[in-house]
Amino acid sequence: MNNELGNIVSEQESVPQDTQRKDMAMQTIAVIPGDGVGPEVIDEAHRVLRRLGETDGVQFDIVNYPFGAEHYLRTGELMPPSVLEEFKQMDAILLGAIGDPRVETGVLERAIIGGCRWKLDMYINLRPIKLYAEYLCPLKDKKPEHIDMIFVRENTEDLYIGIGGHFKKGTQDEIAIAQMIMSRKGVERAVRYAYEVARKRNKRKKLTLIDKANAIGAMEIWTRTFEEVGQEYPDIERDHAYIDAACMWMVKNPEWFDVAVTGNMMGDIITDLGAAISGGLGIAASGNINPGQVSMFEPIHGSAPKHAGKGVICPLATHSATQMMLEFLGHDKAAARLDTALTKALTSGEIKSISTSSGMKTAEYTDVVLKYLK
């Protein structure tokens, strides 16, 4: 992982000389609290990181970045290229949430989340879908052993590239175009990564390709690449589902999935469905990964402006993102301990719901997790 660091410098907070070394015990993390409930969940992440320092000897050097709506409205700055360069020197990035009703839809998201994904080539969006406790699942008779899969979403191409626009905007003759691209390189690296995940995970050793090649002919590039790369992974069972059918199976038979790989747009949509069947956005996390390079971890939920500042948001998705970050950084033991703490917290009976109307305060969720992260 990205532990081969030389100098770590930041405009926000300078890092003391003695921490500027290649040392797995000291991890430099860029933190972007962002908008809405973002700062609240990031405050909770700090508590978990501090505890891991005490119990697991992993020290985190946190460098805070102000990007988001407030900063944009005050300064006009979104995500300066110099900061993206700075991020390359970090071990990882932890993001709270981005999005604010005061700013035109998509401006912040594209510049900050998209900026990191594209400019730092975080070409994988890794989204585990894991049911920690039965009561979190809205599906009848589905238990933790039925919902335990991981989605590999291609993260830099497809309909997200921003090529297109409007012609005769605002008239009756208006035409809007959004181009979808799928490069061999982009598809192949996502597919290969997914095969590796299926192998490393060592569970069902099954990889499902999800696409819509029956209607979108060009998507055959996925089918072909999946088959070709699959020859190198004879130990992994190859499976296929069209996106519409996959949505149905996710609800009817989620136990059929082990690892799934899909494009950017379909992956965005189906992983929200995945979040829903595993307890909702209060628990789902994702990693934007450029293997071996700086990568960014975040809760899947958005900035939820209507809940901001009330202390009602569940921070468990952020703790789950922290867990993924630890794994990515190679702190397998600390990651496993945090995973166990999350499982225990959610099955102890102390947490009855992770919805914003649960009556539980943001910090109280973390209190329970910390109790099991001794």
Which residues of this chain interact with ligand IPM, rule CB under 6 A? 109, 113, 268
Q: 133 or 300, CB closer to Mn ion?
A: 300
Residue facing Mn ion at closest CB distance: 268
Q: Is the dihedral of CA 206, 207, 212, 217 positive or negative?
A: negative
What's the min distance (Å) between Cβ of 11 and ligand IPM?
A: 26
**What is the smallest separation between the CB atom of 188 and ligand IPM, expressed in angstroms?**
21
Residue (of 241, 272, 245, 244) closest to 258 by Cα position = 241
CA distances from 59 to 37, 118, 201, 289, 331 (A): 25, 29, 27, 22, 11
Smallest CA-to-CA distance from 191 within 240, 246, 146, 148 is with 240
Residue 298 is a binding residue for Mn ion (CB under 5 A): no
Residue 40 touching Mn ion (CB under 5 A): no
* CB closer to ligand IPM out of 133 and 285: 285
Query: Which of the stretches 9-17, 42-50, 143-151, 268-276 binds Mn ion when contact is defined by CB under 5 A?
Result: 268-276
Nearer to ligand IPM, 44 or 268 (CB): 268
For residue 365, the SS3 value is helix
The residues facing 149 across adjacent strands are: 129
CB of 268 to ligand IPM, least distance (A): 4
Closer by beta carbon to Mn ion, 268 or else 327: 268
Which C-beta is closer to ligand IPM: that of 188 or that of 272? 272
Query: Least distance to Mn ion from the beta carbon of 309, Å?
Result: 23
Comparison of 86 and 158: residue with beta carbon closer to ligand IPM:
158
Any idea which residue has 């088959």 for tokens?
227
Q: Which does 109 bind (CB under 5 to 8 A by kind): Mn ion, ligand IPM, none?
A: ligand IPM
What does the block give as tokens for 127?
């989204």
- Determine the residue with CB nearest ligand IPM: 109
Continuous segment of H or E residues that includes residue 275 = helix 264-277
Smallest distance from the beta carbon of 107 to ligand IPM, in angstroms? 11
Tell the smallest beta-carbon distance from residue 163 to ligand IPM (Å).
Answer: 16
| Beta carbons within 8 Å of 83's beta carbon, 6+ residues apart | 11, 65, 67
**Amino acid identity for residue 284 in this structure:** A
Is the Cβ of residue 35 or residue 86 nearer to Mn ion in the bound state? 35
Q: Which element (helix H / strand E) includes 273? A: helix 264-277
104, 227, 342 from 110: Cα distances, Å: 11, 33, 31
Q: Which does 113 bind (CB under 5 to 8 A by kind): ligand IPM, Mn ion, none?
A: ligand IPM
Cα–Cα distance measured from residue 126 to residue 193, given in angstroms and rounded to the nearest whole number: 10
CB of 101 to ligand IPM, least distance (A): 14
**Site for Mn ion contains 268 (CB under 5 A):** yes
Nearer to ligand IPM, 99 or 254 (CB): 99
∠ CA 324-60-154, nearest 5°, is 30
Residue 154 interacting with Mn ion (CB under 5 A)? no
120 binds, among ligand IPM, Mn ion, none (CB under 5 to 8 A by kind): none
Residue 71, phi-psi category: left (phi > 0), alpha (psi -120 to 50), beta (remainder): alpha
Summarize as ranges the residues that interact with Mn ion (CB under 5 A): 268
